[in-house]
């Protein structure tokens, strides 16, 4: 099967950091059809050769194991082309049309990895140039829009141009092997299903912590913030994967229908919950991995008086029979204590104690997403130091855990998120992409938070880089008698 992949934003950050490395991995794994073309599009004045040379240098920043050898790069580079385009000029889309016509590929993928403000214009121009044929697929990066209204406007324009089946709204968290394994754990195994409900689960915590700052994306990030960058999409998609009912099959709409129901069941905000259950923070200078790093306001491209949040912690509830009353705590931020993404499912303690157990000890399932993916099941067992209690009728239990390291089990060369999702687009599989109604529902839920912050002059709480964020995030969860998993 032949394909043309048009990469709008072909010299942008996403192209360098994620897309090119993922495409190369697919190429190396032999899953990217060699009869394809990858056409980088940007305003720069580059020949194919210069574009290839630029990409080659960028691969020096990629992990050694994922870097191509010179021979591998030469073979991969044969797929790479460059087209200079000003995305506001109709003539340039005609030139793109001519380039695509040379091949008549079976599938044409338009990957819009540009600033979100250009999405609508690109889609309109694609249609005006007659490029919206039945074999065209469009990929839109998150965040799709800035709020509910802009999200709807983009979705309406795109739906006007292409059918829903041709629209791939990407959320790369859905492509992560650990998230695939969450679906496998819940819907491929019968073990947890009877326990997966309010009667047995005390709370669920989702942490997506990054030790990096905003890198060279200061200008974009300052307009975006952690709520739009991470919570509206990645974190809420994780909530969906955790809380959804089993779908009737693995087809895209069966899965998306169930995710949508979760988003619709998120308890609406009140002024009281907005005050108490949402914490925003912004990092100040600090030390990360032994290095002194600047505060957010000192980062290039960031307004020195910025009130953009680089940290969010919130408490959500899902108002349905399965989950009523179970807090879902979400926490994400830049320049935190480490790169650590995990989901922690805290089960309720045993209902009646016949053993002595450490304070508050209960079963816990940890789904590790980053830096490695795996599963830990925390149990209580009878350890060896029971000699001193041997005469006592009450035995003491010790926490222990079963640890499943997916890298060790399946090898660390597994298909990465972007690799998987790019291949899904080329093959036309929509399961791991987000439908417009899911996105709208997620925006509807986060919008009151944005409004609340706009009206609240106090701004984000400062936290030192290299910590776990503002103390208020711990106080929020402590009010319920719980604690973040690294604290207890």
Q: Which residues are catalytic?
A: 234
The nearest distance, CB 420 to ligand BG6, in angstroms, is 12
CB nearer to ligand BG6: give 4 or 210. Answer: 210
The nearest distance, CB 229 to ligand BG6, in angstroms, is 5
How far apart CA 263 and CA 220 sit, in angstroms, is 27
CB nearer to ligand BG6: give 170 or 473. Answer: 170
**Among 181, 180, 167, which Cα is nearest to 110's?**
167
Residue with tokens 């030469």: 74
CB nearer to ligand BG6: give 229 or 441. Answer: 229
How far apart CA 425 and CA 430 sit, in angstroms, is 7
The nearest distance, CB 225 to ligand BG6, in angstroms, is 10
The nearest distance, CB 210 to ligand BG6, in angstroms, is 6
The nearest distance, CB 341 to ligand BG6, in angstroms, is 6
CB nearer to ligand BG6: give 4 or 229. Answer: 229
The nearest distance, CB 331 to ligand BG6, in angstroms, is 14
The nearest distance, CB 152 to ligand BG6, in angstroms, is 21
CB nearer to ligand BG6: give 58 or 159. Answer: 58
The nearest distance, CB 481 to ligand BG6, in angstroms, is 30
CB nearer to ligand BG6: give 327 or 333. Answer: 333
For every residue of the chain, which 3-state class applies, written as one string?
Answer: CCEEEEEECCCCHHHHHHHHHHHHHHHHCCCCCCCCEEEEEECCCCCHHHHHHHHHHHHHHCCHHHCCCHHHHHHHHCCEEEEECCCCCHHHHHHHHHHHHCCCCCEEEEEECCCHHHHHHHHHHHHHCCCCCCCEEEEECCCCCCCHHHHHHHHHHHHHHCCHHHEEECCHHHHCHHHHHHHHHHHCCCCCHHHCCCCCEEEEEEEEECCCCCCCCHHHHHCCHHHHHHHHHHHHHHHHHHHCCCCCCCCHHHHHHHHHHHHHHECCCCHHHHHHCEEEEEEECEEECCEEECCHHHCCCCCCCCCCCCEEEEEECECCCCCCCCCEEEEEECCECCCEEEEEEEECCCCCCCCECCCCCCCEEEEEEECCCEEEEEEEECCCCCHHHCCCCCCECEEEEEEEEHHHHHCCCCCCHHHHHHHHHHHCCCCCCECHHHHHHHHHHHHHHHHHHHHCCCCCEEEECCECCCHHHHHHHHCCCCCCCCCC
Strand partners, 357: none
CB nearer to ligand BG6: give 229 or 438. Answer: 229
CB nearer to ligand BG6: give 166 or 310. Answer: 310
- Contacts with ligand BG6 by CB under 6 A lie at 210, 229, 341, 370
Residue nearest to ligand BG6 (CB): 229
């Amino acid at each position: 099967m032949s394909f043309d992949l048009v990469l709008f934003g072909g010299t942008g950050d996403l192209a360098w950091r994620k897309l090119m490395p993922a495409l190369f991995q697919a190429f190396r794994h032999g899953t990217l059809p060699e009869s394809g073309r990858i056409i980088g599009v940007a305003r720069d004045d580059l020949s194919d050769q210069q574009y290839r040379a630029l990409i080659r240098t960028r691969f020096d920043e990629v992990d050694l194991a994922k870097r191509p050898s010179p021979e591998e790069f030469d073979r991969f580079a044969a797929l790479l082309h460059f087209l200079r385009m000003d995305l506001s000029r109709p003539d340039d889309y005609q030139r793109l049309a001519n380039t695509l016509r040379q091949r008549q590929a079976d599938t044409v993928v338009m990957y819009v990895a540009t600033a979100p403000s250009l999405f609508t214009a690109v889609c309109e121009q694609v249609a005006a140039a007659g490029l919206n044929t039945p074999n065209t697929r469009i990929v839109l990066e998150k965040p799709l829009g800035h709020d509910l209204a802009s999200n709807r406007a983009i979705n309406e324009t795109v739906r006007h141009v292409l059918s829903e089946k041709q629209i791939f709204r990407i959320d790369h968290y859905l492509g992560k092997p650990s998230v695939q394994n969450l679906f496998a754990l819940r819907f491929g195994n019968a073990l947890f299903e009877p326990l997966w409900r309010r009667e047995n689960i005390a709370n669920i915590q989702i942490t997506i912590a990054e030790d990096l700052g905003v890198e060279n994306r200061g200008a974009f990030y300052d307009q975006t913030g952690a709520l739009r960058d991470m919570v509206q999409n990645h974190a809420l998609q994780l909530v969906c994967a955790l809380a959804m009912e089993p779908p009737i099959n693995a087809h895209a709409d069966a899965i998306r229908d169930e995710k949508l129901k979760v988003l619709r069941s998120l308890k609406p905000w009140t002024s009281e919950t907005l005050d108490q259950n949402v914490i925003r923070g912004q990092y100040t200078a600090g030390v990360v991995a032994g290095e002194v790093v600047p505060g957010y306001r000192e980062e290039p491209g960031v307004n020195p008086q910025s009130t953009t949040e680089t940290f969010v912690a919130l408490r959500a509830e899902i108002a349905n029979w399965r989950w009523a009353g179970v807090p879902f705590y979400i926490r994400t931020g830049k320049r935190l204590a480490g790169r650590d993404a995990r989901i922690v499912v805290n089960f309720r303690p045993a209902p009646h104690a016949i053993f002595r157990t450490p304070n508050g000890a209960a079963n816990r399932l940890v789904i590790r997403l980053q830096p490695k993916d795996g599963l830990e099941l925390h149990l209580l067992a009878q350890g060896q130091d029971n000699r001193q209690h041997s005469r006592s009728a009450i035995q003491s239990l010790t926490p222990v855990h079963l640890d499943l390291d997916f890298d060790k089990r399946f090898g660390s060369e597994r298909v990465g998120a972007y690799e998987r999702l790019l291949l899904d687009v080329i093959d036309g599989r929509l399961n791991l992409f987000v439908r417009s109604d899911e996105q709208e529902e997620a925006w509807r839920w986060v919008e009151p938070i944005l409004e609340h912050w706009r009206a609240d002059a106090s701004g984000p709480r400062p936290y030192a880089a290299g910590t776990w964020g503002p103390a208020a995030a711990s106080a929020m969860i402590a009010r319920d008698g719980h604690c973040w998993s690294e604290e207890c």
